[in-house]
């Protein structure tokens, strides 16, 4: 049930806890925080990042991200397995730092963003793996291909920001083969190998704001 508890600092060595500190720790651990954090959340794109890394020319990595995305989470504190996630990513917002490369990615050789403007993820299951770590499984759709995908996410905690918004944070990663989603374009290198790797690492750094209760 650690999904909605604030993550404790990791110990780097032996520590001594005084009586007042021990009392505070016990009170925090016993606080009924689960119910308070259960609810619906909207992903804040200004403070979230959906990114990728792929091998280039067999010798280095190219990194990029999608700047335009939106999503919703439902967190269930009493039963984390009933939590859900839904994310839509606008393909045309891809940014690798090179304009010509970005235009190639959104074109017909890769994502064909004009025909398939969105990449989507819809969760189907949530499984606790350990303290503050959860595996979210769902359906990832790229172009016209939908395949299952699992993402291991770490819960980074909850806080109220300076504007009074209740926030939760998650980060995690997974790896896919782009060819599984029909992204097969490549070019052979004279020295052997190919220009673009098949393995793609996806990373997620998510900040989500709790929605106000319905009137």
The owner of tokens 């993402």 is 151
| Mean pLDDT for the chain overall | 85
pLDDT value of residue 20: 40
More confident residue, 144 or 14: 144
- Please compute the mean of the pLDDT values over residues 157-179 and round it to a whole number: 94
- Please compute the mean of the pLDDT values over residues 1-14 and round it to a whole number: 41
Contact 66, 36 (CB under 8 A): no
Neighbours of 49 (CB within 10 A): 15
pLDDT value of residue 34: 54
Neighbours of 37 (CB within 10 A): 19
């Amino acid at each position: 049930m650690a999904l909605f508890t604030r993550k404790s600092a990791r110990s780097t060595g032996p520590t001594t806890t005084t009586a007042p500190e021990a009392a505070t720790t016990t009170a925090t651990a016993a606080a009924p925080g689960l119910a308070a954090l259960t609810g619906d959340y909207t992903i804040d794109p200004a403070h979230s990042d959906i990114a990728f890394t792929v091998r280039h020319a067999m010798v280095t990595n190219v990194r990029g991200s999608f700047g335009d995305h939106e999503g919703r989470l439902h967190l269930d504190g009493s039963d984390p397995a009933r939590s859900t996630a839904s994310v839509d990513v606008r393909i045309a917002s891809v940014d690798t730092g090179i304009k010509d490369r970005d235009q190639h990615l959104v074109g017909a050789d890769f994502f064909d963003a004009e025909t398939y403007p969105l990449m989507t993820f819809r969760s189907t299951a949530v499984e606790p793996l350990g303290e503050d770590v959860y595996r979210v499984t769902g359906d990832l759709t790229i172009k016209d291909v939908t395949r299952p995908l699992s993402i291991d996410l770490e819960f980074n905690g909850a806080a109220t920001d300076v504007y009074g918004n209740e926030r939760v944070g998650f980060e995690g990663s997974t790896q896919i083969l782009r060819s599984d989603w029909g992204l097969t374009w490549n070019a052979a290198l004279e020295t052997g190998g190919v220009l673009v790797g098949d393995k793609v690492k996806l990373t997620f750094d998510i900040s989500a704001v709790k929605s106000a209760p319905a009137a």
